[in-house]
Amino acid sequence: MLEPVEMRWAFIRKVYSIVAIQLLATIAVAATVVTVRPVAYFFVSSWAALCSLACYHRKHPVNYLLLGVYTVSLAFSVGLTCAFSFTSGKVILESVILTAVVVVALTLYTFWAASRGHSFNFLGAFLLGVILVLLVFSLIQIFFPLGRISVMIYGCLASIIFCGYIIYDTDDLIKRYSYDEYILAAISLYLDIINLFLRLLTVLRAANRN
């Protein structure tokens, strides 16, 4: 049985509205952490909120409450990254603009491809495998710090992977998420965008390092 097109578009609009609110909240909280650094000591772990959200993502209004807690706590992480990593305001702004352009372009491309019957479901296993490799690489970097060029290469590769995830999760949003999974869909896209921003920030910060 084919689903009504209007219902799917209403679902998509709902998800993007949630993501937009999350991003605005992230910008506000991160900017506060950068400008008022003592606020960082009130950091709340995002992992507890994410685990709870995975269990209660269908239970309204608890899911919205947990989503708010998770968004704010992750925004603190983003703010800490910007505030305590010797990142200039110029580099942060460049990362924000570049992230916005890439996200809009990839989203439009995915909607265009989906309207012509293309599917990106095949990307799932590949992206997961590469993410695991990048995680191992990150652990190695903790114990054996890499040089500027290696950091830039890592950042570029990670950026490409999260570009792939934006396409994959947008395709899921269009075709596969059920209507009561709007929180999961929003979290997936939100994390893709935040991770892309952080990876681009890594690249631009390394490129501007003396």
Between CA 26 and CA 192 the distance in angstroms is 14
Percent of the chain exceeding pLDDT 90 equals: 30
Taken as a whole, the chain contains a residue count of 210
* Mean pLDDT of the 112-128 span: 88
Question: Which residues contact residue 113 at a Cβ distance below 8 angstroms, ignoring those fewer than 6 apart?
Answer: 120, 171
Mean pLDDT, residues 98-124: 92
**More reliable by pLDDT, 135 or 4:** 135
Q: What does the pLDDT average to over 62-84? A: 81
Q: What is the pLDDT at residue 19?
A: 93
Does pLDDT of 79 surpass 90? no
Tens digit of pLDDT for each residue in 130-170?
A: 888 888 877 777 777 767 777 888 888 899 999 999 999 99
Quick one: CA dihedral 184, 188, 194, 198, positive or negative?
positive
**pLDDT grade for 210, boundaries at 50, 70 and 90:** low
pLDDT in tens, 180-202: 888 889 999 999 999 999 999 98
Residue 106's pLDDT band, with cuts at 50, 70 and 90, is very high
Cα–Cα distances (Å) from 168 to 119, 163, 174, in that order, read: 9, 9, 10
Of 28, 49, 50, 48, whose CA–CA distance to 39 is shortest? 28
Mean pLDDT to the nearest integer, 116-141: 85
For the CA atoms of 24, 29, 33, 34, the dihedral, rounded to the nearest 10 degrees, stands at 10
Residue type, 80: L
Single-letter amino acid code for the residue at 33: V
Residue type, 100: A
- At residue 186, the pLDDT reads 92
pLDDT(42) > 60: no
Burial annotation 2-36 (CB, 10 A radius, 16+ → b, else e): eeeeeeeeebbeebbebbeebbebbeebbbbbbee
More confident residue, 57 or 102: 102
Q: Which domain holds residue 99?
A: 5-207
pLDDT greater at residue 106 or residue 59: 106
The total number of structural domains that make up the chain: 1
* Global confidence as pTM: 0.86
The predicted-structure confidence for 159-171, as pLDDT tens digits, reads as follows 999 999 999 999 9
Is the predicted pLDDT of residue 34 greater than 80, yes or no? no
